[in-house]
Structure 1
Amino acid sequence: MTTLAEAHDQLRPLMFSIAYRMLGSVVEAEDVVQEAFLRLHRSAPDGVDNLEAYATTVTTRLAIDTLRSARVRREQYVGPWLPEPIVDDDDLDPAYRIELDDTVSTAFLVLLEALTPVERAVFVLREVIGYEYDEIASVVEKSEANCRQIFARARKRISDGTPRFDATREQGARLASQFIAAVAGGDMAGLERLLADDVVFVGDGGGRAPAIQKPMVGVTAVARFLLGLMRAGERFGVLLEHAVANGQPALVTRGADGALLGVMTIDVEDGRIARLHNVINPDKLGHLGPVGDLTALLRGEA
């Protein structure tokens, strides 16, 4: 029988995958996984029949409790709330390596915020993990019939807004490169050609960094705003890098010293950029490495 110690490396990706999709926070997900392992070590005998099911149950229940308390903080959050980004690169902490598919995209995780903690748990376990309803019922302590109803209700609530990612990774990378070139070159016409007419820009500063307080919509407004940001950044030697974050093409912004200033994910639909989600809240970037002080930079203090 596999012991918990032997299964640690195998269980960790699954547990983090569940917790991150439940919470949209790398830091909170890591805390949940650590607490889940502590509880498993204290209570799970080496002879338990199914360690994976046991780990899934503990992780999901802890994530539900964490999300219930987090919802109060998010209601008081300054400006739009976006999930903490996971940037896919060789330096990424192995603890955060999960399968970066559409269900961890920024747009999708934002949609999941509309669900209650239990709805989110049922949806993640069914849609992502592939659990059967009887297994889900055991985890969330509801009846199988109730879980079917919860899943149907959750899927209906988010179905209309579910993002449609029809670009391959190569197409997304190419469009992101063109996007960076247009922004860096101040090419208004070129940038407008890349953006959908109803493109949406969302910024998350959380009151800790300067960000717009509500989403911006429209190709001309967003293009002008982006070029304005670039002109401001150029004065301080801000650097732009292409990356992949949450399974989508992304733009990483760094200061002249290499410190991270922001991560912007790029959602592509029908060959054009449909949504831009820009996380500049330093509290949401620390897991990716040293973070710069964007506010001080813009004030000329850094």
Structure 2
Amino acid sequence: MTTEEFGRALRRWRDRVRPEAAGLPAGGRRRAAGLRREELARLTGISVDYVTRLEQGRATSPSAQVVTALARALRLSEDESAHLFRTAGLAPPRPELVPAQITPSVQRLLDRLAGTPVAVFDASWTLLTANALHVAVSGDPSPLRGNERNIAWQHFINGGLGRVRYTPEQAIAFETALVADLRTASARYPADQRLRRLVAELRTRSAHFARLWDSGVVGTHRAARKTIDHPQVGPMTLDCDVLTVAGSDLRIVPYTAEPDTEDADRLALLAVIGTQPLGA
């Protein structure tokens, strides 16, 4: 535990919080605009003496419950709370469930990439959303429900990803990275029952997945080239990147074509004919 840094952070953030912002009366004359130690003690349910010893670096090893109460009372941001936990020698708490919210910034990015096929997945590789051009490239996911929207489920149980064609080498790399990602997500979000049920179903219904899972394979998703067998414009070889959004574990997956190629021409054609409203 970095006792001096913990105490400095505690004092700095206590001085920043005005009493009325914490639901307390400002009351009389105050030497500083922030919370008094006794006020912070009241908000957190710990003694004034313990708050004093923490700030002075004389108390060590506060519990996670104490640090959580301090972070809540001091109105700390997620990053500030994580810093307080680390200076207390504790691992910052993680969200219990796989994040599935599309943040406003990610939505703005999708809106500005209308000319690029883009999909967004959560940490378990369940599809959250896709723009119109990605739907035109890969097919309409709107009828899919539950695990049917999960890439691992589609690949290992449903017999593949529809229009995507892999070489044997590409398939091995893809499967290795996919299983490794699911194992990482399972360790990061152990309380997520949906994820636990997904992995259990994959292990039960796919012997291949079970072998990979039990072997402890390690891999990461890297930039790759995929061939899409499209029923309207023909085969397209596209570059596929995986971009991870820090703090939310969202996976943004764009497809791009090399400029001045037949693949680029076919993708441009699909952007015209494949995104038209039905019946146009």
TM range, normalised to the smaller chain? under 0.3
TM-score by length of 1: 0.23
TM-score by length of 2: 0.25
Which structure would you say has the larger RCO, counting Cα contacts within 8 Å and 6 or more residues apart?
Answer: 1
